[in-house]
């Protein structure tokens, strides 16, 4: 039996579920009374991984975000994967806001995670491996402690723990 155990930390988003969530949000938008005769919309651009929200006013923009986030939650997609840009004026007084879908582990966030792992004082080795972090230890219990430790920390990205060996 191997004397080293490991797992990987990744931050992935299932784009099929995102697509389903946006379609459900669009469907709810057409059925809601407060959006009747409104030009509000939700559009997903898969190639750039962006969602563009257009609303008549601030109130409808907030409601539109709530609809989208509730659909994300129901589809099992973390809301942490949405990075909202600034609101800007669009055509004829409408408001436009872009939400970027963050998929993958950026280098600065990976370094932040490694620093958190080191500060935990649990004896494991961690290293950045492309868009994931590999955590290695000689004890399975230490790996499970790291997973539990990272789950209880409020991190800015959704984390998944895969390839547990």
pLDDT in tens, 77-131: 989 889 999 888 877 888 999 999 988 888 888 898 889 888 888 888 888 888 8
In 3D, which of 2, 7, 3, 5 has the Cα closest to residue 162? 7
Residue 2 has pLDDT above 70, yes or no: no
Answer whether 47's CB lies under 8 Å from 8's CB.
Answer: no
Question: What CATH number was assigned to the domain covering residues 15-101?
Answer: 3.30.70.990
Mean residue pLDDT of the chain comes to: 88
* pTM given for the model: 0.80
- Kindly report each contact of residues 138-146 with a partner whose C-beta sits within 8 Å and lies 24 or more positions away, as own/partner: 138/3, 138/4, 138/5, 139/5, 140/5, 143/5, 143/6, 143/7, 145/120, 146/117, 146/120, 146/122
In the CATH hierarchy, which top-level class contains the domain 5-12+105-162? alpha beta
Query: What are the domain boundaries of the chain?
Result: 5-12+105-162, 15-101
- pLDDT given at position 27: 93
- pLDDT given at position 42: 93
Residue 34 has pLDDT above 60, yes or no: yes
């Amino acid at each position: 039996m191997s004397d080293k155990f490991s797992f990987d930390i990744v931050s992935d988003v299932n784009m099929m579920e995102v697509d389903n969530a946006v379609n459900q949000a669009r469907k709810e938008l057409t059925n809601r009374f407060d959006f009747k005769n409104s030009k509000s919309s939700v559009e997903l651009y898969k190639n750039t991984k962006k969602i563009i929200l257009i609303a008549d006013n601030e109130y409808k923009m907030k409601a539109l975000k709530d609809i989208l986030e509730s659909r994300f939650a129901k589809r099992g997609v973390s809301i942490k994967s949405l990075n909202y840009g600034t609101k800007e004026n669009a055509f004829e007084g409408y408001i436009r806001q872009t939400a970027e879908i963050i998929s993958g582990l950026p280098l600065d966030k990976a370094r932040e995670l490694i620093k958190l792992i080191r500060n935990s004082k649990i004896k494991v080795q961690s290293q950045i491996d492309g868009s994931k972090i590999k955590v290695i230890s000689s004890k399975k219990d230490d790996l499970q402690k790291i997973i539990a430790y990272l789950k209880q920390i409020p991190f800015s990205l959704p984390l998944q723990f895969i390839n547990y060996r």
